[in-house]
Structures are given as C-alpha cells and as structure tokens.
Structure 1
C-alpha cells in the first residue's frame, strides 16, 4: 500500500481547475508534498465552489476542465511521482436539475429506473408512502411564488417541465394531457378535425390518456420517449401546433395580479410526483433524507449494491488505472451501514490507501473492524491544538467569560438544550418520521400498546439530545460491547430528565440493543433493526447541527477550542495526554491523516495559534476586553431593551479579531469586511437573536454597524490604539505557536496534511472565508528564494526570516525543511517507535519533545510553547540565556546530532540543553549522526 508522505489539499472549482493544478505540480514537489489531495472532482451543481453537491458521479466536472486536461494533470503528477488522494461523496447528491437520476425519479415516480437510488419513502422497507417527494427549494411561500409568476411551465425538446429560476423539473407524462386538452377546439377550427396534423395530435393525446397504470420502468420510459418524440416533431414542423402549445403555456403560466389565472398551473403541479414548497418547510416537514439539514443535498442509498456499483464505477476505474492512489470518504457516519460500504469499497479498490471523515469524541476510537488507514485528521487537530492551551487557567477564563457576559451555563448543560432546539426547528420532520416508525413497533407489543406518539417522541428526542457520540454501528450482525455501553450510558443519562417516560425509555433501550423476545418474528426483527439503523443515521447530523453549528457559536468562553470534533469544556490537554494519543495512533492508525486546517474548520490553524496565546494571559486579556468594550460602548444600540450586539457576541468578536487581524495594514479594510460576513454567519448559527430560518435584520445590521463603527476612522482610532499593540504582541507569540504546531504535525505518527495556502500565514475564518483563492505565484517565488538562499548561507537566511517573520516566509521555510527531513527518513516517521522524552529544568512545561526511532536512526522533535512566560516582546526564544537550565534527556547514547531545520551540528552526551538545540531556530528536529 502506498501511504502518502505528506498531502496537500486543493479546493477545485471553476476558477481553479485541472490546468491550474497542473501549473503548481512542480511547486508541490519542491515543497515536499507526496500526494495531491483533491476536493470532489465529479460533475457538481453549476457554479459549485466545493464539489460536494455532486449531480453525476459517473462524469468528471466539466467546469474543472476537459478529459484531456484531467489526463494531462494525472500525467504531470505521475511524472513527478506524486499520488492523488481523492475525496469522494457516497452519502448524497445535489438536489438539482442537472441530477438526471433524481429528475428521472421526479418525472416517472415509482416507474423510474432510479427509484432505488435515493433515500425516499417510496422505497422504505416498512410503511412505504407514495406521497409526492418534497422539493423545498423555493425562496418564498409557494402561493406567492406561483402568483408572482416565478414558477413557469415551459416546453422544449426534453419535454414539459416546470421552472423556478435555475431549477427545472420534468413533469409526469400524464400531465401532457392537461396541456393538450385546453383550447383543443380552437385548434380543430383552425386546422379542421380531419387534418392529418390534428389527427396526429389527437393520437398523442389518446396515448397519454390511455397509459396503463401498471407498467415496468422500461416500458414507461419507452412510452415517454415515443410520445415526446411525436409531440416535438409536431411542435417544430407545424406552426399551428406550435402556436397552440405556446398559447396554452401562456394560459397555464397565468398573469401576476390575477390569482385565479394560476388555477390551471396549480392543478397541474398538484398531480406531480414532487411538491414544490418554500425551503423553510424542510425544517418541519421532510420526506427524504438529506445531508444534515441541507435541502439541496439528497441522500443516496449506497447500501443498495446496484447504486454502489453505479455511483462508484468511475471511481473504481480511476483507482484501477492508478490515477487515484488513495480515497478519502466524506461523511462516513451518514451511511446506512458504514462497515458494509467500506468492505465493498476495499473489495473493489484492493490495496488502496483509504481514510474516512469521522468525528471522534474524546476517548472514542474508530471501529477496529473498519478496513481503513484512519481518519482524515480532526482528532489530531484537536489534540495538537489543545496542547497549546494552558489548562491551569481554565477557572480564570470561566470567571472572565461569565463576568463579562453574565452567562453561567456550562457547555455540558448547553449541548442537550441546543440539540433539542435543532430537533424542534431544523430536524422536526426527520424525528417525526422516526417516531412514526417507533410507534408502529411499540403498538405491536403489549408493553408498548399504551405509548402515545407524543410520549415516544419526547422520550426519543431526549435520548437523541444526550447521545454521547456521533453514532453507534449496530448492524444485523449484532452490537459491539462499546456500542452497548454507549446505549446504556445515554438511557441512564436521560431518565432523570424524563421521570414520567421511563417505560418508553426502556422500550427504546431494548430496541437499540436488539434485545428480541423469544416470540419476536423475523419481520419484527427486521423492523427493529431498520429503526436502529435509522436512528444511527440521524444522531450524527443532530450532533453536528446542535453542537458544531449551534453550541459552538453560543458557548464562547475560549473559541480556539470550538473546533470540529472539539470539546470546548476540555480546556486544553496535558503533554502526557498528547503523547498517549500519539502512541496509540502509532500502534493502531499510523496511516491516519494529521491536519490542522480544512475546508470545514471554524478558523484556520494560525488564528487558533494566536488565540491559544490568550490562554496564557487571562489577567491581561480581561483587562483589554473591558477596556475595548468601554471604548466601543457608544457604538452599541438598544432596541426594546435589547443591547446590540449583546455581551456574548461582543466577546466573540474581540476573540475573532485577535485571531484574524492581519500583519499588513493594507489588508485591514478587506479583513473588516470578512469579519462582518463572519459575524452574520456566527449569530445566525447561534440562533439566539437571529437564524437562517428567521433572520432578524435589525440585530444583524446593528452588529455589522458596530463592527464598522469601531474601526472608523482607521487612523487615530481610539479602539485601534488600544487593540493593535496588544494584538501584535499576541500575534508575535502566535507565530512561534504556529512553528511548533507545524513541526509537530510533520513528525507525529500519521500523514501530515496541508490545506491549500497554509504554508504561509492563513487567518481565515469559517467557510466560505477559508475557500478563497490562493496566490500560488507569491508562494512559488518565496519558495524559490528560500531554497536558493539556504544553499549559500542558511544561518543568515534564518536571521532574515526571524527579523521579517510577519511575511510568513519563516513558516514556509520550516515546512520545506521539515518535509525534506520527512522524505529523507520516511521509514522512521512512518514505522519508527514513538518515545515521549523527559524534560527538566526551569522551563520544562514549555517544551513538547519526543523521539522517533527505527533501528539505528533516531529523530527528536523539540517544540516549545507558552512563549509569554519565556520571552519579552521583541526577543527570540533562542539560546541558553532564554532557556536557562532546561534540559532534555536523550533516548540514546549518540553524542552527535544534526538539526534538520538549521542544518547545524549539535553535540550532546546523555542530556541536551534546550538552549543548545534551539540556538538558531525556534523549533528543533535533531537527527542522530553516525
């Protein structure tokens, strides 16, 4: 198996396609990257900026370039011996007119050849319901869209369809009769009833009206093709027929201002296999499974072998041809049976590197029977971030937060509350569907006969809101002891909060554990299992929406910890916890990815590195925040006794500004605009004063006005005069945090992953801010200059990098040197033992150190932290005067070492003075010599 040495994540889109990626291939090689890590490249919705809204997984996305451009990129990568790690999306597809499979379903209903492709009630194994599939894609209420003329009936070569701006959905074949029956006498008078053209049109109408109700999919497809062909021929070859149809279209499309003129169109739409509705309807009424709560992403039944084969045909082909050398599976927890999926994928792709996007809670591990190399790295991200957070200051930050905002609710208390909010507002329709299934099961048993649907819903909602992990993995094969423990845990945690629903909870526990009675029939067992599998598919979205997309924007004690897969209630981690994580990773998941920024992180790595500095200085932080708030008090607004922004939102703003504010003053204006975009997203996600479903423009405008006001004017601004000196001091220390974090990522067990552009400073906020275009020209020129200078006088280069560290070349230099060492000693990093090293002396808590050992080669990583207690502003964390008596105990008797970063020799004998190891550069990577 080809395990990548280091990956580089590219966000493909129409502005950065295959040719653009080809142009930076040599740059990636020079950087030290072994594998291009690509966002989804299959045909997506037009204009997609991310590629996760795939509409056809059997085609490459034409917006990224031609087939020739793709092949040329592959050839270029292979010439440089670079691999291709491809992100794939098995869980869902775009709900879009370009999705020919879904459009076929909406046109032909249960007669569609693709009816089994999508997770809709038409193919549910229990309680099949043939109600129209929701199309919650309208921007306003259906009635208003209809009477405004936004919904239009159109006809073209593909047939009769309904249009709403870019949305175009084909109508069922029977609907043609409605259109052709209107004003038919008028056409007869114009042509004559015996006219061959009129007779042919009547023939088409007769065929449509005589369609048999019972037919197989292929027959219905053939009938439709025949009718559509005849009608299009009549329409294009006969002006009278064209006029007749065009006038009927105009009649059906109504006249704005005349409500009754839309009756014909409304009647026509009411007969379809789909139901157009306001997008907000999807929050409370839903009859297809979505990706999280995104109406535009409809879930795919990849558990169906036919669907798996079809949707993975091109993927498997590109793997077999050696064009894809690895796969990253998006949203593995959304699948009906993740293990079954992974087993099938492994069977098809053989010895291919595979990782999964899986969010692990603290203490949770991947199922050990998954045939993958590990996760895509969110677990690593949170461990490496946590080690730079000073844990002993937790109580002080809690006091500062509650003192400034008045909020005292703990994160643990907040989580179930926010999950309930999501169940009530965003996933209400989804839980209704699961509860209906639960009610059917309960009613068949004497101990559940008296349970009401409301009681079951309340009990189920409480269980889901307190679920401790993203999901369990119960299948027909049974339940693991780990999952059994999670079920017991959540039921026991739930009972105190629902004392009058204990009987309902006991039933739910019995079902989740598959504790069948002796007389349970096979059909009943299948129904129980289906219920459990459905619950498992919804605990993940609920966790994501309730925690990551709600609680993380409300609980703002220290937002560096509010990261995907993170646990804000855990105020950092100890060095021993970090080492234990790495040791376990080395033994079990050495091929897992190690990331620090992704397309989904709440803020990029360098922003978190800055924010972590605050954890070291609680008193100074509190002093600054209160001073800033006082200066800016006149810019707050009060409406109906509500101060806008409130104290919690103001507190998160100041943290965000510390993390994101640029070094270069020329970037201030654009940064302020980005922050304004961010605060709108943040407060809508928080769902306290405004939200996506119910926007409060008064509060939103007040907040963005506040951001504008505190920065005007940019010169001689009282807030900036107080803010900038402190922020720059934090930012300077944040640089050193970033350097340590970068080295740890490169040398820890796992595959270091670099998100596009992060080899220089990246202070991006949550998407779409973190998906902005990357200036590779600048990076290429920086890299070339660094490499050339390093060949002549590397110590002078380092001095210049330190003196101008704000330009980010120092980070790029470290990436280059670190990856160079990783490539040269790849076996040590991929297979070598992981040994935590003992540090003693005055600043022992400021050092994270470990060794990687493989045979006769030992490599030591030395990464400092907590720089505010180590250096004064303007000082470098270098040399004996700074590090005093801080000493590292070496794991070997080797006396001669070479620092792979500075390329200087370091002598030692059993112990090593940190001041000697870090004489030239803020981090050290020592390679044993001899």
Structure 2
C-alpha cells in the first residue's frame, strides 16, 4: 500500500543558507527580517549536527546527538527558530543519513569501534567488511608506505598518534613494540594511496574521509535520527532535505521509516533523476530537491540547432583531443571504465567477492563454476551500461539492467560459455534466485556501487571532459542533448503538478557547478555559435601557452559566463576542472608542470588582455543574457513545486563550482536590480496566494500566435497568475522582433505584479507585454 503523501506545513518557498563557523545561527537570525520581507516561508539550513571542527559545509557529521557547537549549539538553533517564528518563518534542515566523518578523535562511535572491534555496540553503525584485511579496518592516513612512516607513529598512553591523527589502542597493547602493536589493533594505518584498492569500509563515492552508515538497522536509525526527530516534534524545525539517499542500502525502506517517524513532515530527497526517469511513486516524500526542474528550465533557453553548430565548432577547435570528449555517450562510457578501475576499485573488489561467495555456496547449478575474474568482468560491463543511478526495491530492475545491456556486456568475453557470467550477475540483480541473505547483500551492494559509479563517472568526470556547452554540464543534465522544446517543458510542469506538486525546485545550489546566472549567459552562445568561434579564433590566434585545446575552450567559456573576475577565482575552478577530468592530472596523481601551465594560461589569456575581447563580446550580448537570467528566475519561482532560493541569488549571482559558490553573500544584496525586484514580487505573490501554487493548483500552458510565437513561453497558475518569458531572444532579434505576435490572455483584467500601473485584457501584443522587461508576471484582479 502506498503511504499517504506528506502535506503538513508545506513551504511556499525556501531560502538556502550555508551555515559555517563564519556564518553561525546568530548570523542567520540577524538576516531573518530581511528574508521574511523577501517573501519566503522557510529558511533552508545546511546540516546543523556536530561536524568536523572547522567544516565549511557540515556534511562530515561526527555526532548525531548534538547540534553543532561552532554554529551556536542547540541553544543557538532554538533561538534562530524563535526569531524565525516571530517573523512568520519556519526551518527546513538538511540531514545526512548515508555517511559520517572518518575522524576518530571527533567521532565517538567510530572511536569505540576502532578500540573494541566488531564486538563494540557501535560496530553495527558502520558498513565494514570485517572478513577482509585480516579483520582490521584500513585507515588510509599515512603519507607514505608504513616502513617510511613507522618512526612518526607514536604511543601516548593508550593512544596512537600520527601527526594530527589520534587513534585508540586496544586494551593492554600499549606496551608492545610498534610492529606488534599495529598488528594487535582492530585497525591498520596504511599509505593513503591504498584507499583506491584496499579499503574494507563503504565510503561516500570515493571519499575515504566519509564512512558509510548502516541506517537500515533500526537501532542505528533511531540513534542517528533521535535529535533531528526531537527537534521536529518540538516544532523547532518543520521539514527535511535528505542528502544522497542513493547511497543507502534500501532507500525505499529508509524513506518509509523516516516518513512514519516524522509524522509526514515535508521532506525532499536529493535524488538525481536521469532524463526521462521518474521518481519512484511509492516514496513517501514531497519530491526531489529539484535538479530535474533545473534541467528543464536551462534546456528551454538552449537553442537546439545552435547547440549542434556549437558542438561542431568545439570538435574542430579541440581536435585531436575530441576522441576523449567529442561524443557524450562515448565520454560517459570511457569515464565509467576509468572510475571502476581506479577510484572505485575497492568497491568492485568487494562486490566481486560477494558475487563469488553467492555462486560458490549456491545450490543452483546455473550459478556454480563461475570464476571471480568472469564475475568481475560481467559486473564491470553491466555497471558501465546503466543509464540511471541505481535500481530500487520498489522498481523493475529489468528496466535498469536491461537485456540490451547484457547483450553488449557478453561481447567482452571471448568464450561464449564464460559470457554466461553476465546472465548470472543480471539474474542475481533481478532477484531471480530468491532472497537469501547473500543474494540480498549482492543486490544492495550492486545498487550502491552503481550509484557511486554514476555520480563519479558522470558528475565528476564526464562533465569535465565533454565541454562544448558548459551550462549543460550540470547535475541531472543531459549534455548530449541539452535543449528542451517548450512543449516538453509544459509537459514536465503538468506532470509535476499532477504527481509531485510540493516537490522542490532549484536553479542554483551549493552543489551546482555554475550558478544559474552564469549558465544563463552561456546558453546565449547556442544562439551565436559562429560569432563565438570567431571570437575564439581571435583570442587564440597565437596558441601560445595553451595547455590543451579542451581546457582552453572550457576556460574561455568560463570567463564568458562569469564575466570579469579575479584570476585566482578562475584558476581555482579550472584547476578543479582538470583534476576532475583526469586526462592530464588528477587529485591523486597530480602533474605540477601541467597545473602550472593551466594557471599561467588563465592569467595571461582568459584573465589577461585577450580576455578583454571576450568581455566586450559578453557586453554586446547583455540584453540577451538579461532575458535568460530573468526568464530563468521567473520560471523557477512560478512553475509547479516549491522553489528553493540559494543565498544571494535573489540578485545577480555569478559563481563557479564549490568552494566559489559557498562564499559569504551580502544581506540584503547591494544592487538587487531587475532580478531582485522580480524575485521579491514573485515570492510575495506566492506567500499572499499560496492556493494558486499549491497541491490543488492547476497549470495551463498558453500559446502565443504570430511570427515569433515560438519565442514566448507562457502559462497560467490556477487561472489567477500568468507567467510569460522570452526564449532565445537573440534569434528573435535577428528574425525581426515580435512584430505582430500576440498572446491571448484568459478572461479578466490582468495587472503587472512588478509594475502595478500596467494592466492588460484580451489579446495583447507580446512586444507591448515585454516592453522594458523581457518577462511578465501578471495577476488577475477582476
């Protein structure tokens, strides 16, 4: 039976604040009056539980039972909630069920496990494979092989120290000689490079500093959620954002348990949906955090024909490197192989061991006599062909691990009989051999590995290798086909209103690789690909100091989207870019000469004198960038769902990938401009008329008529509020403007919400509707 959809205290709009020691609860409370005046209903707080000291984000939780002292502790959180209540606001809090920080000196539960081993009452908290590595938890903290670092390990009473690292010693082992002492522990400090191949605990993606938590265990769930649930039931907080549910053993069961424990509070999940993938209908949540909305909004302002031309320009510019980034699907596949054999080698090893154990012990003849290497190959070949993050218990796994994928995977085997390993793996994933514990464990780990692989290979690798249009390389995006026709956008909105009316929507977050305003500028390049190619030919005429063509293309697009900025900001983003791409340098195998060349190129080129030509080109397109910026903002704030406004984005907000997008912002913004006025008007309208945008609201597309009809995207919410935006304004201008294009308004008198002196009835010339501003937000008043 499908649980009832939660609906108590559904926000009308949320405002995301990035809490950190430099911006604690007290600072958040100080800006509450301003945020209340903006028109949001809830503050959306980044994680509030105790984290590693100094953490700038809070996702490295160390204690679920305490509110973070560096932010002001529980007293500070309650004071913030009180201030928010006084101004009519509630609180939504980010929670992190999948992982904790691998920081024993701060993580008491982990400390006890390292001291007492698998018999510790906390051992059930963590996803550790005690059968591997001789029953010792590998800790990849040493700067080099043990032999080179042994003298730096010191015993201090019942503690083991290594620089800033501190570990507990097993009882009665402190007097042993160092080699024997290390052998006697429930853990083993090792060279950090062994994390790639030898870890025996589940981690967050490939981040060894974050250890997986087993919230599928009811006792672990209770212990790790007690404080948050108490704050919910006491009315301190009102709703939840769930970070990375795909990493969990059973997201379906977890979300049901959470729904029951919260009493159905408004909850959204950070679920990244592939293009066309639905959110599982059985999940008792309000919806996603909104990356699917981001993809559809961005796509609307991307010219499909122009993107094709831009892709051709990119391939010519970047040749011959395009063999590693000129085709999207091929780029993803190559990235997936690379991630499986490098970053996730330890995860695929563990999954292979589980599969081998299942086959060896199975009474099913079809599962017997499968070599570990064959099972490993089958796993790799199937995993790299998944087009979504993972299968779910509530879904049809055969639609995820398809027969088509299996047929391709079999081609990796020379001997047909050995290719039967593919069928064995697929049948185990599909549950065709029952639900014995080993089979369930295999399906669980397959899904968790698939999720990590998709995130690392697509978000963290392919997006940095396939760069014809940087605005399309965003979480949840489809860079191979980024454009979204108006009819597809309207169909998406209608589905959201019907199926998930209280889902979250976003256009900028703490995780977006570029803010919405940067992406809006970049989208204009799809309307003028030849002009962009001409500008690049001009600024790269000499070719001096260019590390590689792909990087150069991405660098020039970066400064076009961002506008004038300090070289340090651009260097930081592009250094992350090349390390994530992993073609010439990486986080773990850094190439200083190449990285120095990147920094020098950025300084001399995109952020030097040649960059002034790009800045001038950007200035020449200012009105079209403005149309995209305002159109993006208005669609986000009035489409179905609950909009989440990222801090500072109510005004112009130009930011690159983290940590650039987590810098402090001004409250209120110094120059809110047109975007600020539009955002304030839309949010206040949502607050004043929540029924127009809520669960029982309606969504009705409007179609303009005339020669430029395709450039006007419009819809009506509940017959009372009308949104209209300009699409592809540069193409519109080149075609002669709006001319005789008209938009038929529904019956009644319609007033401009931003400029109440303007009223419209009946058929309105679109050029008149967009006079002065390329968007319109109208409210029916009679």
Rounded Cα–Cα distance in structure 1 between residues aligned with 2:617 and 2:411? 47
The question of 1:35 aligning with 2:52 is answered no
Q: 1:152 to 1:762 in 2, by over 3 A?
A: farther
Compute the displacement of 1:128 (Å). 7.6
Which residue of structure 2 lines up, in the alignment, with residue 635 of structure 1?
Answer: 545
| Per-residue deviation, 1:491 | 2.0
Hey, what does 2:354 align to over in structure 1? 437
Report matched runs for 1:666-815 at 5 Å: 668=565, 671-710=566-605, 717=609, 719-776=610-667, 779=669, 782=670, 807-815=671-679
Q: CA deviation at 1:543?
A: 0.4
1:687-731 Cα distance to aligned partner (Å, 9 max, x none): 10001110011100011111122268x6xx3x1442221022234
What is aligned with 1:329?
A: 242
Aligned to 1:825: 689
Kindly state the Cα deviation for residue 887 of structure 1 after the two structures are TM-superposed: 1.1
Matching residue of 1:616: 527
Shift of 1:281: 1.1
Q: Is the 8 A contact 1:553 1:686 kept in 2?
A: yes
Q: Give the Å deviation of 1:153.
A: 2.0
Match of 1:851 in 2: 716
Task: Determine the C-alpha separation between the residues in 2 that align with 1:555 and 1:808.
Answer: 34
Deviations 1:810-852 (A, max 9, x none): 2111111111222222111113211111112222121111111
1:575 equivalent in structure 2: 486
Corresponding residue for residue 73 of structure 1:
80
Query: Equivalent residue of 2:439, what SS?
Result: helix
Change (3 A) 1:169 1:732: farther
Q: 1:499 to 1:468 in 2, by over 3 A?
A: farther
- Distance in structure 2 (CA, Å) of the matches to 1:63 and 1:893: 56
For residue 899 of structure 1, what is the aligned residue in structure 2?
752
Task: Tell me if the contact between 1:582 and 1:834 (Cα under 8 Å) persists in the aligned partners.
Answer: yes
2:271 maps to: 358
Q: Shift of residue 681 of structure 1?
A: 0.7
SS of 1:135's partner is: strand
Q: Distance in 1 between matches of 2:606 and 2:99?
A: 43
How far did 1:141 drift? Answer: 3.2
CA contact (8 A) 1:137 1:295 kept: no
SS in 1 for 2:236: coil
2:375 to 456, 467, 485: 456
Provide the residue aligned with 2:68 in structure 1.
61
- Structure with the largest fraction of helix: 1
Q: Which residue of 2 aligns with 1:191?
A: none
CA contact (8 A) 2:559 2:606 kept: no
Aligned equivalent of 1:218: none
Where does residue 391 of structure 2 map in the other structure? 472
Q: Which residue of 2 aligns with 1:242?
A: none
Q: If you compute each CA radius of gyration, which structure gives the higher value, 1 or 2?
A: 1
Q: Secondary structure at the match of 2:274?
A: coil
Q: Residues 6 and 703 (structure 1 numbering): CA distance in 2 closer, same or farther, change over 3 Å?
A: same
Q: 1:498 to 1:557 in 2, by over 3 A?
A: farther
Secondary structure, in 3 states, of the residue corresponding to 1:134?
strand
* 1:494 equivalent in structure 2: 409
Q: Which residue of 2 aligns with 1:198?
A: none
Question: What residue in structure 2 maps to residue 588 of structure 1?
Answer: 499
2:475 and 2:512 in contact (8 A); partners too: yes
Q: Contact 2:310–2:530 (CA<8 Å) still a contact in 1?
A: no
Q: Per-residue displacement from partner, 1:261-284 (whole Å, max 9, x unpaired)? A: xxx323312221111112221111
| Alignment of 1:868 onto 2:722 | no
Cα contact 2:13–2:40 (8 A) shared by 1? yes
Please give the per-residue CA displacement for 1:228-283, whole angstroms capped at 9, x wherever unaligned.
xxxxxxxxxxxxxxxxxxxxxxxxxxxxxxxxxxxx32331222111111222111
Aligned mates of 2:56, 2:162 — CA distance in 1: 22
Distance 1:904 1:152 in 2: 76
**TM-score, normalised relative to structure 2:** 0.95
Deviation track 1:634-667 (CA, whole Å, cap 9, x = no partner) reads: 334xxxxxxxx111111111111111123xxxxx
Check the 8 A contact 2:703/2:713 in 1, yes or no: no
Report whether the alignment pairs 1:887 with 2:742: yes
Contact map agreement 2:701 2:714 (CA 8 A) in 1: yes
CA deviation vs aligned residue, 1:456-477 (integer Å, no higher than 9, x gap):
1111111111111100112xxx
Give 5+ residue unaligned stretches, structure 2. Answer: 1-7
The equivalent position to 2:330 in structure 1, one of 390, 404, 413, is: 413
Distance in 2 between residues matched to 1:303 and 1:816, nearest whole Å: 42
- The equivalent of 1:544 in structure 2 is 455
User: 1:44-77: per-residue Cα shift (whole Å, max 9, x none)?
Assistant: 0011000000000110111101433222111101
Residue equivalent to 1:837: 702
- Identify which of 549, 552, 558 aligns with 1:647: 549
Instruction: Find the counterpart in structure 1 of residue 316 from structure 2.
Output: 403
Instruction: Report the alpha carbon displacement of residue 286 of structure 1 after superposing the two structures with TM.
Output: 1.4
CA RMSD of aligned residues (A): 1.9
| 1:367 counterpart SS class | coil
1:16 aligns with 2:17: no
Select 2:437's aligned residue among 514, 522, 526: 526
Q: Does 1:93 align with 2:100?
A: yes
Question: Are the counterparts in 2 of residues 285 and 429 from structure 1 also a CA contact under 8 Å?
Answer: yes
Structure 2: how far apart are the matches of 1:130 and 1:307? Answer: 25
Structure-1 separation of matches of 2:467 and 2:606:
23
Compute the displacement of 1:482 (Å). Answer: 6.2
Question: Please, which moves more after superposition, 530-539 or 825-834?
Answer: 825-834
Residue 471 of structure 2: which of 550, 560, 566 is its match? 560
Deviations 1:358-390 (A, max 9, x none): 000011011111100000011111111111100
| Alignment partners' CA distance in 1, 2:738 and 2:349 | 62
Residue in structure 2 matched with residue 447 of structure 1 by the alignment? 366
Report if the CA contact (8 A) 1:743-1:861 is conserved: yes
Rounded to whole Å, the distance in 2 between the matches of 1:558 and 1:140 is 40
| Matched residue SS, 1:839 | coil
Deviates more, 1:438-447 or 1:399-408: 438-447
Q: Which has the higher contact order (CA 8 A, sep 6+)?
A: 2
The CA deviation at 1:924 is 0.5
Q: 1:912 maps to what in 2?
A: 764
Instruction: Give the match for residue 512 of structure 1.
Output: 429
Separation in structure 1 between the aligned mates of residue 278 and residue 256 of structure 2, nearest angstrom:
19
Any stretches of 5+ residues in structure 1 without a counterpart? 179-263, 637-644, 663-667, 783-806
Distance 1:494 1:379 in 2: 30
- Cα contact 2:391–2:400 (8 A) shared by 1: no
Match of 2:3?
none
TM-score by length of 1: 0.80
Deviates more, 1:163-172 or 1:341-350: 163-172
Q: Residues 166 and 503 (structure 1 numbering): CA distance in 2 closer, same or farther, change over 3 Å?
A: same
State the SS of the aligned residue for 1:447.
helix
Question: Equivalents in 1 of 2:54, 2:163: separation in Å?
Answer: 15
Residue pair 1:468, 1:490 contacting (<8 A) in 2 also: no
Looking at structure 1, the residues matched to 116 and 486 of structure 2 have their Cα atoms a distance apart, in angstroms, of 60
SS in 1 for 2:190: strand
Q: What is the Cα deviation at residue 685 of structure 1?
A: 0.4
SS at match of 2:44: strand
Structure 1 residues 308 and 650: CA distance shift in structure 2, 3 A = same
Moved more, 839-848 or 604-613: 839-848
Residue pair 2:401, 2:426 contacting (<8 A) in 1 also:
no
CA distance in 2, matches of 1:485, 1:399: 32
CA-to-aligned-CA distance 1:378-421 (integer Å, 9 cap, x gap)? 11111111111001223312210110011154111121211110
| Offset at residue 528 of structure 1 (A) | 1.3
Q: Cα offset for 1:496?
A: 4.1
Distance in 1 of aligned mates of 2:251 and 2:198: 27
